[in-house]
Chain A
Amino acid sequence: MSQHALYLDFEFCTGCHSCEIACRNELGLPPDGFGIKVLEDRPRMNPDGKWNWNYIAYPTELCNLCEQRTEKGLLPACVQTCQAKVLEYGTIEECAAKLADKGSKATIFVP
């Protein structure tokens, strides 16, 4: 079986922090524990006058890609709860295909 990964379209990650708490609930972590963490590249203006302001939700060392959920056919907790629906789950190959489709401002994580 191919290894699994998380795909993130960070053009539209809104930085809402929902994934952090859903993950915490799923893994039974304390309030200061993170299986996924939202990082912010704070806003600044590019030379062309456009804005650079991005959030990246990245899986930490505690992430197990929600094996206990996926084996029951459920989505990982962070993917299910993502309000912008920019986190997706699949095999590395499936995620790579999404990346190629998107073509910009996206990434894949293998925790």
Chain B
Amino acid sequence: MTQPWKRQEGDETIFRTCAWSPPGCHPVGCGLQVHVKDGRVVKVEGDPEHPITKGSLCPRCLALTEYIYHPDRIIYPMKRAKEDRGKDKWERCSWDEATDLVANAANEIIEKYGAETIAVFGGTGREGNNWYPQWANLVFGTPNSIYAQAGWSCYGPRMTNTAFMMGGGYPEIDYAMKFPERYDDPRFVAPEVILLWGKEPLRSNPDGLYGHAVIEMMRRFGTKLICVDPRITWLGTRAEEILQVRPGTDTALAMAFIYVLAHDDLVDHDFIEKWTYGYDELIERVQEMPPSRAAEICGVPEEQIWRAARMYGKAKPSSVAWGLAVDENTNGAQLGMCLVALMTITGFLDAPGGTTLGMGDDQGNVVRDGGAIDSSEKVDDETDSTLALALKHGIMTPETWYTKRIGVDKYPCVGQVMWTAHPDEILKAFETDKPYKMHMAGFVSSNPIGTAISAEPQRWWKALKKLDFNFACDLFMNPTIMACCDVILPVASTIEHDGMVVTHYGLNASFYGAQNKCVQVGECKSDVEIMLEVGKKTYPEFWGRFEDDEAYNNFHVLRSWLPWETLRDNVVTMSNEPYYKYKEGKLRPDGQMGFPTQTGRVELYSYAYANFGEDPLPYYEPAAFGPDTMPDMMKEDYPFILTTGARRQEFFHSEHKQVPSLRQISPWPEVDLNPADAAEHGIEDGDWVEISSPYGAIRQKAKVTPTIKPGVVHAMHGFWYPEEDGEEPNLFGNWKSNINMLMPNSVNAKSGFGNTFKSMICNIKKVDSLGGPNEPDKIVLEASRQGEFEVQQVWRPVDGPVQDPVDYDKSIAD
């Protein structure tokens, strides 16, 4: 029996809806049943009829009532005088006044200094991802939207690997997620082996993969796992093989996997012959990385590399799930090249039980059933991209787009694939006023001074405070808003607005889910409604055509193929995309067979990378900070490899720390230490420890566990203390446990992607309490020692053109 999207049971109205954000989450679109009584949510539970989640929910959605009705939630627009930045002196105002303040500031700055001096920030994975480029390009006419993570180290690098080597959206493991009958669909075959590389799907549900589907396939079909991770995760203990790699060395291991597949002839020659380009060159290249050499580099036994690679190569079918570890790595493009090769040369790319591809593009803004998008169709507004609309309507000039987007001249590879400025480069622009002075910023569900994505957040803090005007669209007070904003526009949560959620932002669509509005909280408005209100005051000739958010949703989100009412009534519309899309002309814009690359094949030898000055084949390069590059420093001051960013089910990055049911699961930030390392430093489980790198020092609680590789520590990201004093300098304890204080900016790969979040160096020592710094100036390294750490400057030159990596040992010795 199918329940309608809205039904009455006694005095309760029950809505069926699919979740995205806020609160922060990736577009997994889990099925909710929201019970509403007298206009108020009384309970949230899973939707048993949702074909993917089948009644299941994770703690974050189950605790939604605590979140949406939290006493600290911002439910009215607020303003604050500029001179009171950093102080809790907010004043409630009307929507009209708040949007006037934003629009008037923007109009004045556009007139006086040019639209490009306005920046719009977006946070990772959230629904706001759809909107912040539109805020930038269409509301203000600036090319400078910003994802503030150093090296754009999330998803972007994997998108680049995909776009350059094969196209076809984002590759994802097959869990029958596109079919209404799921595993019972006769086309489906379960993966025999899944290779989980730098990925923990149970805790991260990354970008549209419903992680627990892996458990479902293990139990139902006996699917086996191979995990590559410096941590042995709970899921790893259920795997056949756990390759406990030293952080930052994955590329060597992946090259060795390809070496073994070729050595044992565990590849699909027919597929390689017909559908790939450069296989022979790839195999020649990986001859430099036999398992014996990779074993030494990675700290993984040689025989295990042979065994695991053979297990992967012999599995029919096999699938690859690649994780964030690919992105947060300066050698990550090359790792991604190897993993794309591993998905491909087995012949199971877009095959049942293999690694699926998608048909969408433009971040889900263009989605069609049953065929690729022909570029000739992109002529009318409905299929135009955000950029095309901005140019066509004169909101942004081509000159502004092509010459004012900061950092893409230095890193054209990032500029080609991403729609934003280059994060590390625009930080320098904020600081130095070069190439021009910035004047205004908006934060659309993004908190760059906070604890989730920005490296050296103390630098962002100082840079953003000095702008003329700042505003935020958000739900809770956070360090960024407290430190530097002048206006807050309160945002409606996922169950307070209408919208759509598509897995992988449409790049690999399992289904199209309706986000149905169930309740109104305070005066909160959806991101789209807010954008419309401000847009009508900056560019009324474009925005005036949309009467309400539904008109905009139909125009720019849903397009016309799936009208809003149909989407809502269906709740879930499965994509039903077929396998082997490359054989049916469903990947290329011209409708021909093959892949949307220069050669029409999967380019194992990548012309696109070559065009951007990268090696067309994968190679191993040691991490910027590590035993290969700075052995003396590691011996003396920073003996540990630091890796960060592992997910917790109860938090999405810096969010959810205020929610009692969630915070009690992880009350404090934890750093994983191996028992041998802990004993050597006199640290016991539960002790507070100071973690320090050349860039700063913060405190977290020791979790002594044998599951972390000896010599490696893993520190939680995203921790702050919303219960503490919010005013400057404390900013809710923003600096106390913030592991990103230890990470540099501008340590990027040649392409401009990648950073050190997964492989930094650090030291640890026992301390008495959280205590810790509450002023960033007191934790950055004393000036006298800065000279020792020239890596940030010499790794890739600050202002010069991109060059080959330098010899660190030599440059430090000099």
A contact residues vs B (CB 8 Å cutoff): 9, 11-12, 14-18, 20-22, 24-26, 31-32, 42-45, 50-53, 55, 75, 77, 80-86
Contact = CB atoms under 8 A, between A and B. Distances in A.
14 contacts: A12-B215, A17-B665, A22-B46, A26-B43, A42-B705, A43-B234, A53-B237, A77-B45, A80-B45, A80-B56, A81-B55, A81-B57, A84-B219, A85-B219
A14 B59 contact: no
B216 interface: yes
B234 A81 contact: no
Contact of B234 (A15, A17, A21, A31): A15
A43 B705 CA distance: 7
Contacts of A52: 237
Given A31-B660, A81-B46, A43 B232 contact: yes
Interface in B676-722: 705-707
Given A25-B62, A51-B232, A85-B216, A18 B56 contact: yes
Contacts of A12: 215, 218-219, 238
Nearest to A33: B661
Contacts of B56: 18, 80-83, 85
A17 B57 CA distance: 10
Interface in B57-76: 57-59, 62-63, 65-66
A30 B368 CA distance: 46
B48 interface: yes
B48 A14 contact: no
B577 to A, nearest CB: 25
B665 to A, nearest CB: 5
Given A24-B661, A25-B62, A84-B212, A45 B706 contact: yes
A96 B63 CA distance: 33
Given A32-B664, A43-B705, A80 B234 contact: no
A83 B57 CA distance: 6
B292 to A, nearest CB: 22
Contacts of A17: 59, 649-650, 665
B235 interface: yes
Contact of A31 (B57, B58, B66, B707): B66
Nearest to B44: A25
Nearest to B216: A85
Contacts of B216: 84-85
The 7 closest A-B CB pairs, nearest first, are A31-B660, A51-B237, A21-B62, A83-B212, A80-B55, A83-B56, A84-B215
A79 to B, nearest CB: 9
Contacts of A11: 238
Contacts, number: 102
Contacts of A55: 234
B118 interface: no
Contacts of B202: 14, 16, 83
A80 B44 CA distance: 12
A80 B55 CA distance: 5
Contacts of B59: 16-18, 20-21
B212 A14 contact: yes
Nearest to A40: B234
Nearest to B659: A31
Contacts of A84: 212, 215-216, 219
Contact of A22 (B45, B212, B219): B45
B706 A44 contact: yes
Contact of B58 (A16, A25, A42, A53): A16
Contacts of B55: 75, 80-81
A80 B32 CA distance: 12
A73 B510 CA distance: 30
Contact of A18 (B57, B232, B235, B707): B57
A75 B202 CA distance: 23
Contacts of A16: 58-59, 202, 212, 649
B212 A80 contact: no
A94 B705 CA distance: 38
B250 to A, nearest CB: 22
Contacts of B65: 25
Contacts of A18: 56-59, 62, 649
B415 to A, nearest CB: 39
A25 B707 contact: no
A43 B237 contact: yes
A24 B468 CA distance: 47
Given A26-B43, A45-B706, A53-B234, 12 more contacts: A11-B238, A16-B202, A18-B56, A18-B62, A25-B44, A31-B66, A32-B664, A53-B707, A75-B55, A81-B46, A83-B212, A85-B216
B443 to A, nearest CB: 29
